[in-house]
Amino acid sequence: MEGKKTFIGYDLGDGESITDYVTMDATAAKDAVKTFFTAMTMPDLNDPGRALPTTYGYDECGNLVFAESIKSMPDLVNDVQINFKRRPSDLLPNLSQKRSEELMILFEDAKVWPSQKECPECYTPEMEAFRKSVVTFTNAVFENKKYLERVSSEARDSSEIVFCVGHPTKWNDLDVAIYKVILKSSILGKGSYANKQTNLIMAAESRAAFLTIKDKASDNVLPKGTSALLIDVGSSTIDLTAMTSNSHNYQYNSGSNYLGVRCIDYIIREMYLESLRNKPGEYQKYESIISKNPSQVKALTLICRLAKEQMYSTGAGVSTIYFLDLPPLRINKADVEQAINRFPVSQILTKNISLPNDQAKAMDNKNWKELFHDFLCEQKSEISKQGIKIGRIILTGSASKMTFVPQIVKDVFNDLPQGGVLADMDPSRSISMGLSLVGPSNEKSLEFQKDLNALIDKELPQIIEQDIPKLADDLSIVINNVVTDIVKKDMRLWRSSQIKTLAEMTDRIEYDCNEKQLQKDLMNNKAYNDAILKWTVEVVGLDIAVRLQEICRRYGVRNLTLEDLNVMDIPKIEGVGVNIDVLDFADTIIAIVSVIAGIITAIVLPTVLGIVIGLISWISVGIAGFLLTILLSIPGPGWLVLLAVAGIAVVRSAAKGLGSAKEELLKKMQTINLPQWIRDRLTDEKIAAEITKADMKSKIKKSILEEKSKKAIVESVARNLSGQIEKRAEDIKYVIESI
């Protein structure tokens, strides 16, 4: 990140919208400091930090107006738009899987809205209305003169402005891609704002809520081994995120695309209309108003929503709906909640937002409280299956002020301690503040990725190479033991006359030590595999962890131990239950170690075998020399054995120490079927002594450390470990991005 950047988080909600911003410079990318937010004053409002209702219309002169104007003079406003936020894929009729994939390719990198030829589905009246509303409202906010002046002042020293717009967590990739292209049609996608270069990024609202809570670092410390569950109850959707205090053991994101509380606004509107029906002539007057200006229905919905918010924001818990010159309606919490119990959500949403049929069927005839309760039960069950234990719940979103929302949460999560459900003190800004942190979070993540790439590309090979001597130490011991056992076994077979000659014994040892057989013996040898596992985990894995820890500390992550960072160690499990991912991780480690073992064996064996075969021949000659000395020292029976293959002159010359005669006898002894009494002279102690004299272990180690072998081991092991480092880095990024 070069120079200063201003990051603006834009929470374009179905019910209300708000922005927040932070400005950071390059040095802040690696700093772990708390962020100080300056509350923005949204257009049409006077109070900083207050959300703007997501609605607009046009006055008699054709000027765009926001909620306050609509509320104060609804009869003078036309074309009111409210609750226009939709899941984009719901507006694309009958998409097959194949067509969805084609559209994903089309929208993924699109800079402009596709033509009707490219995407005929994109030109439905519903999609056109959605696009127009999003762009119009967004432009009205960011082109507002006072708002623009404020941003210009705050970003005066910045080189770039980054807009981060939130989207519901449960939207799929196609939804997000379409939404982003729509936003690119607005002022946010023009590449310049407040005389600064701009960039547009997207982020899940659950991630934004997560970043906000992490930034606030509440004093309510989580019980050890538990997670905090963030529940953001918005106007159109609900988002959930689970995190641990360290943010690197678990991550759970979920939500509902249709179970927001906007249906309650419609229910309150129904209450108002019912009151008019009970007053002679008043409902007919309302119908007359609507026939002249249909958008007055939306103006009334806005007024009902504002009355609801006032009712839940005051201690008295009452509010009054005033609409034109029609009779007002005083509402209170008890009456509203009775109405919520009466109305099926599917009926309300189908009437007002064209709820998809499958969703309406799934909702059945249940009211909002019942559906919210069922949804939480499903989520609790899924969270439990994943081995996550909830220690605290934090409610965000304006709906958290509705008393029945936290009560239902407490009823479902009834195993939480007293005070286990907490409400965000500034719920309207939870998402926008988090969205403004997504940009810096991404910047830190990019910086971290650069350091990680350097670790993988440059340092990892160096780490492996410097650790190979330790591997050579351990493997030479194991290979020496395996080969020694083979040599001893075959020598004992010769000693017991099951093998006739020394030459046959040598052939037998070489056969038992052939590459295919020795590879099989080593790969099935526990000590051999344990040596490679220990080297991979406790030597290479630990050295990588030390380096990762240094990098983490540069980014302010200080709570990750070497055990946490060891890419070849199973993550420590906290809390109750085992996360299935951990079991998968263990299988992955075993698989990688097996691959590494196979690679090392294939690299090392050819070189080792050359050494081993030479040493076996050397040992065989040594044993023959030992036996010849015994035979020459016994002129009677010993000489008789030798005379069977050589003349008396040769035997006498050898006995006198003549080298050439000894060499002739040694050569011929390889093919003699020696008698049992001389075979018995080759004791286990003598066999061990001859093998020790060969110094097989040090020669095997030397062969492993040959430059060609080392290079092959480094390249192969690095290739297999880089994926593990990337995998562990994702966990680290999650921590870095949450600071």
Domains of the chain: 1-217 (3.30.420), 262-356 (3.90.640), 439-737 (no CATH)
Q: Is the pLDDT of residue 118 over 90?
A: yes
Distance (Å, whole) CA 496 – CA 473: 34
222: pLDDT confidence band, cut at 50, 70 and 90?
low
Residue 56: closest CA among 134, 149, 131: 134
Are 714 and 462 in contact, with CB atoms under 8 Å apart? no
Residues in the chain: 739
Percentage of residues in the chain with pLDDT exceeding 90?
42
pLDDT, averaged across the chain:
85
Confidence of residue 585 (pLDDT cuts 50, 70, 90): very low
CA-based max dimension of the chain:
144
Q: How confident is the model over 146-167, as pLDDT tens digits?
A: 999 999 998 999 999 999 999 9
- CB neighbours of residue 301 within 10 Å: 21
Q: Which of 732, 708, 712 is nearest to 720 (CA)?
A: 712
Q: What percent of the chain has pLDDT over 70?
A: 89
Under the banding of pLDDT at 50, 70 and 90, the label for residue 584 is very low
Predicted local confidence at residue 521, as pLDDT = 87
Q: What is the pLDDT of residue 572?
A: 44
**For residues 699-718, average pLDDT:** 86
DSSP code per residue over 434-483: HHHHHHHHHHHHHHHHHHHHHIIIIIHHHHHHHHHHHHHHHHHHHHHHHH
pLDDT tens sequence across 390-421: 888 888 877 888 889 999 999 999 998 888 88
CA-only gyration radius of the chain, Å: 39
Q: Which two tokens stand for residue 47?
A: 């109070």
The whole-number pLDDT of residue 575 equals 30
Task: With a cut of 70, say whether residue 370 has pLDDT above it.
Answer: yes
> How confident is the model at residue 398, as a pLDDT?
74
Residue of 389 and 65 predicted with greater confidence:
65
pLDDT at position 79: 93
pLDDT of 91 above 70: yes
How far, CA to CA in Å, does 529 sit from each of 449, 533, 544, 699, 724? Answer: 33, 6, 21, 21, 19
pLDDT recorded at residue 491: 87
**Residue 64, strand partner residues:** 58
pLDDT score of 616 more than 80: no
How confident is the model over 478-495, as pLDDT tens digits?
988 888 888 889 989 989
How does pLDDT run across 99-113, given as a tens digit for each residue?
A: 999 999 999 989 999
* Neighbour count for residue 353 (Cβ, 10 Å): 19
For the entire predicted model, the pTM comes to 0.67
